[in-house]
């Protein structure tokens, strides 16, 4: 019996750091995939994300999508003219492109 999903869906796993040398891979909701990961990250569902991996059993592939997720998090914060939440800052700084981070200016 396999624990991998059947079908063609892409599964997203988030490596989450719980401190004191404890990390775990946490699976995102299969129904919404990447959007669920982004929403959960913004909602604080992960303590300190390290990496996001997408894999698809049918296509026999996996990919580190941390940069894509970090860029989208930064883009949404920029659009809302808000700072990246403190618990996501390290993840976004490590993975998002510099050009997106530079445009996170707040107008007062």
Ramachandran area for residue 61 (φ above 0: left; ψ -120 to 50: alpha; else beta): beta
Residue-level pLDDT at 29: 61
Each residue's pLDDT tens digit, 34-48: 888 999 999 998 888
Please say whether the beta carbons of 14 and 28 come within 8 A: yes
| Calpha distance 85→90 (Å, rounded) | 10
Give whole-number Cα distances, 99 to 13, 96, 102, in Å.
Answer: 26, 8, 5
What residue spans define the domains of the chain?
11-98
Task: Provide the whole-model pTM.
Answer: 0.77
């Amino acid at each position: 019996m396999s624990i991998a999903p059947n079908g063609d869906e892409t599964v997203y796993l988030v490596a989450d750091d719980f401190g004191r040398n404890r990390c775990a891979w946490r699976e995102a909701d299969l129904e919404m995939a990447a959007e669920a990961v982004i929403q959960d990250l913004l909602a604080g569902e992960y303590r300190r994300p390290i990496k996001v991996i997408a894999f698809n059993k049918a296509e026999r592939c996996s990919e580190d999508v941390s940069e894509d997720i970090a860029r989208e998090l930064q883009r949404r914060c920029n659009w809302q003219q808000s700072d990246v939440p403190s618990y996501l800052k390290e993840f976004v700084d490590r993975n998002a492109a510099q050009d997106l981070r530079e445009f996170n200016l707040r107008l007062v």
